Amino acid sequence: MRLKVKNLHISYGKIEVLKGISLEISQGKITALVGANGAGKSTALMAISGILPLKEGSMEFDGKTLERIRPDEITASGVVQVPEGRRVFRRLTVFENLQLGAFLRRNDHTVKEDIERVFTLFPILSKRKSQEAGTLSGGEQQMLAIARALMARPKILLLDEPSLGLAPLVVEKIFDVLLKIQSEGVGILLVEQNARWALEVASWAYVIETGRIVLEGPGSQLLMNDRVRSAYLGE
Amino acid sequence: MSPLETFIQQLINGLVIGMIYALIALGYTMVYGIIQLINFAHGEIFITGAFIGLAVFGALPGALGLGNLWALVLMFALAMAGCGLLGVLIERVAYRPLRKSPRLACLITAIGVSFILQNVLMLIWGPVDKSFPVFFKHSALTFGAFRVTFMQSFIVISSLVMMLVLHFFIRRTMLGKALRAASEDMTAARLMGINVERIISVCFLIGSALGGAGGLMYGMYYNTITFHDGYLAGIKAFTAAVLGGIGNVPGAMLGGVALGMMEGLGAGYLSSEWKNVFAFLILIILLLRWPSGILGKFRHE
């Protein structure tokens, strides 16, 4: 199963932010999207999730075209986003956040089992389950944001800067879980400032500059690329 | 009557009207909480509830007369359903197309809708006072020197029940949780698969239905209504919502009761002619001190 994004164009008013990008994300693989601030990475994710209207372009998931459909329909189809800045519901408890992740399956009796499952992935959330999400630390909020998305049983997970502002130890913990999720068959699109790590784990990676994909290839190969090394790896 | 008894009697009177304000204030606060719009048409939706109730009563067969519980249930059910649908319709027709416009456009539209509704009410029911039948005619409970009419206890108890149901809905049901989530971060709620447009409709439905119930109580309590009664009651309920902290559901309940009591005391000790002045004066003073209301604006629900 794969998500194909073709020739995505997005504008804010008169400014074109995405000038026709095409991506392919496969189940069970990590795909990375690397680029500087303002290159259009988050815009691309919001467009894929159906939050921003497409000016041009198309999306295809599992052989079916997803065109001009609502965000809830995209989530229902199995493409789920963990947005930049975590955006947990601060005034709701950890448990309620997880319940809302499974909003589309709210009458399903398996929701409880899934909550137990994400608690084994992130044991700290189990301890915090009755706390308001706003009282969690940054790392815990990131864990909650990922756990909340997992509650929707994603086939493709879109992750926007999951390591942003977190201590290295916490980042390591979160990335371990991501690798586990991937090994269970979920496809991951990883948008990361931490380009080195992203390229190391990505089977395929794209480099985006001012709204265009300028380079793509296996992550290991891009790590060797001179242009990538000087622009994103600080070498 | 001793001074203390007078005081308590005025508090009781204030509590009754405060419960009605609270019911209306909930509509303002629920809508504001989710789309940050002050729905100026809400006052008219509220008084429409009274008109629908009156029409239903007029259409009832004689056997279902005054004091018949089923007549009351039917009046409330249809007033709430009618106002709920009216609220949803207004949102769909007037506010939804403006979702991406500047907020001011929506606000001005709301004022326009308010005028349109007021005139529609006048066209249907005429410009003169409509009198309500007197429900629960002679019944009052007396405790020593003060008395609570049956109507007053009916208003307080049924509003309390409605607020408790609302509270349960918002805190415990998945739809209620989705509502809180959407009012906190609409985009994140959308990413969770929540259909935010539907949640907004639910807010208008519930808020307007509660307003309609409040309107019917208002009509029954004051016995006469006119097409423009929604305006002042609406403004007062809006101040009650601001007083409690707009966007905050428990705040709206608290603000309504607080405003009603201030007004009751003002009417009792100064003059009932001055009760509006008294209510707004205290409001101004309170807001100078606590601009975000009693429960503060950072507890959005």
pLDDT in tens, chain A (235 residues): 889 999 999 998 888 999 999 999 999 999 999 998 888 999 999 999 999 988 888 899 988 888 667 899 999 999 999 999 999 999 999 999 999 999 999 888 899 999 999 999 999 999 999 999 999 999 999 999 999 999 999 999 999 999 999 999 999 999 999 999 999 999 999 998 888 889 999 999 999 999 999 999 999 999 999 888 888 887 7
Residues of B within 8 A of A49 (CB-CB) are 190-191
Rounded CA separation B290/B26 (Å): 20
* pLDDT (average), residues B95-113: 94
Q: How far apart are CA B56 and CA B71, in angstroms?
A: 9
Contact A91 B300 (CB under 8 A): yes
φ/ψ of A133, rounded to 5, equals -60, -25
For residues B109-120, average pLDDT:
96
In tens, the pLDDT along B210-233 reads 999 999 999 999 999 999 999 999
Which DSSP state fits A53?
P
Q: Give, in order, the Cα–Cα distances in Å from A13 to each of A10, A48, A58, B171.
A: 9, 19, 20, 39
The two tokens of residue B41 are 């048409």
The radius of gyration of chain A's CA atoms, rounded to the nearest angstrom, is 17
Tell me the pLDDT of chain B averaged across its residues.
90
Q: Do A100 and B181 touch (CB under 8 A)?
A: yes
> Is residue B85 very low, low, confident or very high in pLDDT (cuts 50, 70, 90)?
very high
Q: CA nearest B195 in A: which residue?
A: A72
Q: Would you say residue B154 has pLDDT above 50?
A: yes
- Partners of B184 on chain A (C-beta within 8 Å) are 89-92
For residue A83, which residues of chain B lie inside 8 Å, CB to CB? 187-188, 191
List CB contacts of B218: < 8 A, sequence separation 6 or more.
B20, B46, B47, B50, B225, B229, B233
Q: How far is CA A195 from CA A38, A179, B60, in A?
A: 15, 16, 73
pLDDT recorded at residue B52? 97
Mutant choice from A42, A49, A87, A156 vs B, greatest count of B C-beta within 10 A: A87
Average pLDDT over residues B29-53: 95
Rounded to whole angstroms, the Cα distance separating A2 from B107 reads 45
Q: What pLDDT does B66 receive?
A: 66
The answer to whether A101 contacts chain B (CB < 8 Å) is yes
- Is residue B299's pLDDT more than 60? no
Strands A204-209 and A30-35: parallel
Q: What is the pLDDT, as a whole number, of residue A216?
A: 95
**Residue whose C-alpha is closest to residue B243's, from B221, B262, B229, B230:** B262
Tokens of B42: 């809400």
Which residue of A81, A95, A103 to mutate against B (max B Cβ within 10 Å)? A103
Structure tokens at B290: 């606590």
Give the angle subtended at the CA of A198 by the CAs of A167 and A181, to the nearest 5°.
Answer: 85
**Residue B296 has what pLDDT?**
66
Between A32 and B58, the more confident residue is A32
pLDDT of residue B301: 41
ipTM summary value: 0.94
* Cα-based torsion angle of the residue sequence B132, B134, B135, B140 in order, rounded to the nearest 10 degrees: 140
- Identify the pLDDT of residue A68: 65
pLDDT at residue B148 above 90? no
Domains of chain A: 2-232 (3.40.50.300)
CB contact under 8 A, A91 and B184: yes
Q: Enumerate the domain spans of chain B.
A: 3-238
Number of CB atoms found within 10 A of residue A125's CB: 25
Name residues whose C-beta falls within 8 Å of residue B240's C-beta, 6 or more positions apart in sequence.
B18, B21, B22, B24, B25, B252, B255, B256, B258, B259, B260
Confidence of residue B64 (pLDDT cuts 50, 70, 90): low
Q: List Cβ neighbours of A40 (8 Å cut-off, separation of 6 or more).
A: A10, A17, A18, A21, A208, A210, A211
What is the per-residue DSSP string for A156-168?
A: EEEEE-TTTT--H
Q: Greater confidence, A55 or B55?
A: B55
Q: How far is it, in rounded angstroms, from Cα A186 to Cα A154? A: 7
Assigned token pair, A164: 């942003």
Which residue of B188, B299, B301 is in closest CB contact with A87?
A: B188
Q: Taking CA atoms, what residue in B is nearest to A150? A: B192
